[in-house]
Amino acid sequence: MHDTTIQAERGGTAAADGRRADRRRRTPRFERLTADGVQRGRVVRSPIRRVGRAEAFILRVVNNLVAIVALTLLSPVILIIAILIRIESPGPVIYRQTRVGLDRRNLGERDASIGRRVSDIGGQPFEIVKFRTMQINAEDVSGPVWASNGDPRVTRVGRLLRRTRLDEVPQFWNVLRGEMSIVGPRPERPTFVQQLRDEIAGYPLRQQVPPGITGWAQVNRPPDQTVEDVRAKVDFDLEYLKRRSVWFDLWIMLKTLPVMFERDGSGPTQGDADA
């Protein structure tokens, strides 16, 4: 089920749609909360390295090739994982969850704002696919919450999948659909995105490139448990925006392989509850 924020954006009358279209034609409005009240946000030069059409095409080809090869080579593993999940607990093998993706509306802008965009979830929503690692209906009572170490909602198979990052394998399908890249900032849930945009300066800039399965932050930092953990990861995400290229993406892909087995990935991952 989509988040109510998504429903609110997609719904509305024709008059409301007209007002939204009019707002899109005007300069985006940014605000920030200060001790003196709400003020216009500080506009800064975007730190993003813009890739040209040729490089963007190469990046897309590389992403598709890696996704196809990975799904082909891992097909026996995918089958085994699906069987183990079904044996251990009732429910679907794959779960889908709404995440916030690329902010296509800002791709042509040279400036970005450190602050919160009013009435904006930050990017294009899409449904991410993952292997189910928790009991079904894990958030029926608690609602969207941060996961924690030793989370009782996680199944035994789920802990193994998280430790080896194999729960992320179905996201290669999101890559083939053009919703994600192999490398990029991790996509978050709309509820958490709105919170983090308010609390972390520069967080909206992450949406200026496609979200990824792995990334510069993921290979350098452990899974998130607090807002401060996310803040530290944002620094790496912003560094990635400055260095993004075909070669840097390939380097991050290579670094991801040892990280899958060297680091204990069984800890919490923000917003990854299997609802």
pLDDT of residue 55: 94
**DSSP secondary structure of the chain:** ---HHHHHHH---HHHHHHHHHHHHSPPPEEEEETTEEEEPEEEE-------HHHHHHHHHHHHHHHHHHHHHTHHHHHHHHHHHHHHSSS-SEEEEEEE---GGGTT-SEEEESEETT--SS-EEEEEEE--B-TTTTTTT-S----TT-TTB-HHHHHHHHHTGGGTTHHHHHHTTS-EEESPPP--HHHHHHHHHHSTTGGGGGGS--EEE-HHHHHSPPP-SHHHHHHHHHHHHHHHHH-SHHHHHHHHHHHHHHHHHS---S--TT----
Give residue for tokens 């970005």: 112
**Residue 136 pLDDT greater than 80, yes or no:** no
Q: Give me the mean pLDDT over the 158-174 stretch.
A: 92
pLDDT of residue 4: 43
Angle 149-218-207 from CA coordinates, rounded to 5° = 110
Please tell me which of 36-45, 166-175, 230-239 the model is most confident about, judged by mean pLDDT: 166-175
β-strand pairing of 30-34 with 116-117: antiparallel
- 91 φψ region: left (φ > 0), alpha (ψ -120 to 50), beta (else): left
pLDDT of residue 39: 42
**Residue 261 pLDDT greater than 70, yes or no:** no
Domain limits, the chain? 53-262
Please tell me which of 27-31, 34-38, 65-69, 109-113 the model is most confident about, judged by mean pLDDT: 65-69
Q: pLDDT: is 83 or 259 the higher one?
A: 83
What is the crossing angle of helices 246-262 and 227-243, to 10°? 150
**Residue 237 pLDDT greater than 90, yes or no:** yes
**Residue 247 pLDDT greater than 90, yes or no:** yes
When mean pLDDT is compared across 25-39, 208-222, 231-245, the lowest value belongs to 25-39
**Per-residue tokens: 47:** 């730190």
Q: pLDDT: is 45 or 58 the higher one?
A: 58
**Residue 36 pLDDT greater than 50, yes or no:** no
**Residue 144 pLDDT greater than 60, yes or no:** no
Percent above pLDDT 70 for the chain: 65
Q: pLDDT: is 61 or 121 the higher one?
A: 61
